[in-house]
Chain A
Amino acid sequence: MIDFTPRNSKIWSRLGPSGAVGTAAVELAENTDDVVMLTADLCYFSGLERFRGSFPDRLYNFGIAEQNMVGAAGGMAKEGLIPFATTYASFATSRCLDQVRVNMAYMKLPIKLVGLTAGFGAGILGATHMSVEDVAIMRALPNITILSPADCTEIIKCILAASKTKDPIYIRLTGPVNTPIVYKEDYDFKIGKAVQIREGRDVCFIAAGSMVNESMEAARLLDERDISAAVINMHTIKPLDTNIIDEVITKYKLIVTVEEHSVKGGLGGAVSEHIAGMDKHPPIEIIGIDDFFPPAGDYRYQLEKSGLTARQICDRIYNKLKHRA
């Protein structure tokens, strides 16, 4: 049985998102016969080496053929298996979008699609391997749950929870190796139920994935400027936890969404769509990646270029509130 301890959270952080996938996969396989892992020539990159060693008959490598992998995952899911199909987020979504659309969205086959290095995790490889529009693509499809875990502990939580549902699920993994730790200890994780992890008075960050940690850091920096910020971890982007938004919407001067994703159609879009129907609400600042293909570069370079470091987020919110005042 997996232990959610401070020590393990450090180990998983060092392994990074792929290592967390591999850890969760082994845990699942030891307890559930029906779980199978699928890869498109990225077994090692997906952290599945240990899984392959322990459960060689449950690791299916489809070669560099993502469309076939997702199609086969659909057939397996139809037969009652619990297939986790893993590849780069860009290929998991846009490369085999029609298979995702027909199998997961229309037929509701309970494939668990894992998108590695969403955002800038593979940014050094250039635009083909970045994935800054996958949430927008997947959010437009009915019936697919979209998860965006905040750290490696939450990645494991997401994968374990995903295996227990009959729903098609897309899990987008953001963040670098040596992933910043948000959760040091065990906590209750429920798909569709966002978690407020910081209280505040003036500003409310609604963040997902790697940007939960950056938002927490930004909130600490804002404290130094006498601005009090709350942080909500919106780990489930679809279905959006609208209850928590309804609860907080009247309490703050500014709502700020933060995501390692395009400003078009992601978490910011989802929150805005919900808020648009309200008679009265505070302004919404959508922080993400501008509508363009960022140049190749490493993770921190990409964050800085996109204004997604904690310091940049802090400055932007400070200036916004100062301007309004």
Chain B
Amino acid sequence: MVELLAVLYAGKINYNPGNPEWEERDRVILSKGHAALALYPALVQAGIIERECLAEFKKNGALLSGHPSLNGLKGIEFASGSLGQGLSLGVGVALALKKKQNTKSKVYVFLGDGECDEGSVWEAAASAAHYELANLVAIVDANAIQYDGFTDEILKMNPAKQKWIKFGWDAIEIDGHDIGQIWNGYDYESDGPKVIIANTVKGKGISFMEGNKQFHNARISEEQYRTAMEELEADG
């Protein structure tokens, strides 16, 4: 998720921090709201929120809540957390942009692969294809892990790419940690709605977390924190 959001906010998104209501901005919906911690640093890098905000993450009453809240934090246009709702919001925004004849803006909706268990995702997917929403881009963070375990063991939704294609989407699959592939994925032209299935490794870069379902939602010890930071710093 970090790389996907970093590339979007560093080089792809049209956004004016000084004018958050700018009509021609791109819209971003973090449907997998539990990835808020990956979004907030991207907002810092894009100059939308201050770096000092990050220290407030998950503190009582803070703007940086565990899921994006509609509490006035710049850069957050939609609340999320209840999975399966973001793509429908994206469909509505994309339809409204078409009606307003805004051909500049794109709508980016970030989904989890576990989130795609929700039937409402597929209601939205069908309608996006029906209305030929070429201004809509879904990005699926396919890390293969959800709360109770590996996605294919909990509810087998793979092969995901074929499902999206059958629903009428243009689908591409990329390595979600490869900056070049992510960049090209955002650039990929499509006449209709486009989904980027980004294969990722949960906990990438930290040896004891990588692909470990125990770290889908877990606290780490001081020692684990030190080890993790050493590994990340060693990687540069």
Contacts and interface: CB of A to CB of B under 8 A. Distances in A.
Contacts of A67: 84, 88, 119-120, 123
22 contacts: A36-B99, A57-B99, A60-B131, A62-B123, A63-B123, A68-B123, A68-B126, A74-B89, A74-B92, A75-B88, A75-B89, A75-B91, A75-B92, A75-B96, A76-B92, A78-B93, A78-B96, A79-B93, A79-B96, A81-B99, A98-B85, A107-B78
Nearest to A58: B99
Interface string A99-122: 101110011100000000000000
B63 interface: no
A73 B88 CA distance: 8
A71 interface: yes
Q: Which of A68, A77, A101 has the most CB of B within 10 A?
A: A68
Contacts of B209: none
A86 to B, nearest CB: 15
Contacts of A57: 99
A126 interface: no
Contact of B94 (A65, A68, A75): A75
Interface in A43-99: 57-58, 60, 62-63, 65, 67-68, 70-81, 83, 98-99
B227 interface: no
Interface string B131-147: 10000000000000000
A142 B97 CA distance: 29
Nearest to A99: B85
Contacts of B119: 67
Contacts of A98: 82, 85
B96 A81 contact: yes
B70 A72 contact: no
SS class, residues of chain A in contact with chain B: helix
Given A57-B99, A103-B89, 7 more contacts: A58-B99, A63-B130, A65-B126, A68-B124, A71-B91, A78-B89, A81-B99
Contact of B100 (A71, A77, A79): A79
A73 B70 contact: no
A78 B82 contact: no
B127 interface: yes
Interface string B38-82: 000000000000000000000000000000001000000111001
A81 to B, nearest CB: 5
Interface of A: 36, 57-58, 60, 62-63, 65, 67-68, 70-81, 83, 98-99, 101-103, 106-108
Nearest to A98: B82
Interface string B6-45: 0000000000000000000000000000000000000000
Interface string B141-176: 000000000000000000000000000000000000
B67 to A, nearest CB: 11
B95 A72 contact: yes
Nearest to B109: A75
Contacts of A99: 85, 88, 120
Contacts of B85: 71, 98-99, 102-103
Nearest to B93: A75
Q: Which of A67, A72, A101, A106 has the most CB of B within 10 A?
A: A72
B90 interface: yes
Interface string B92-125: 1111110110000000000000000001100110
A61 to B, nearest CB: 9
Given A60-B95, A65-B127, A74 B88 contact: yes
Contacts of A83: 92
Nearest to B107: A75
A101 B92 CA distance: 17
The 6 closest A-B pairs by CB, nearest first: A75-B92, A71-B88, A79-B96, A72-B92, A68-B123, A75-B93
Nearest to A33: B99
Contact of A106 (B70, B77, B89): B70
A63 B124 CA distance: 11
A102 B70 CA distance: 10
A179 B11 CA distance: 59
Nearest to A83: B92
A243 to B, nearest CB: 31
A141 to B, nearest CB: 14
Nearest to A71: B88
Contacts of B120: 67-68, 71, 99
Contacts of B82: 98, 101-102
Contacts of A70: 88
A322 B11 CA distance: 79
A77 B88 CA distance: 12
B127 to A, nearest CB: 6
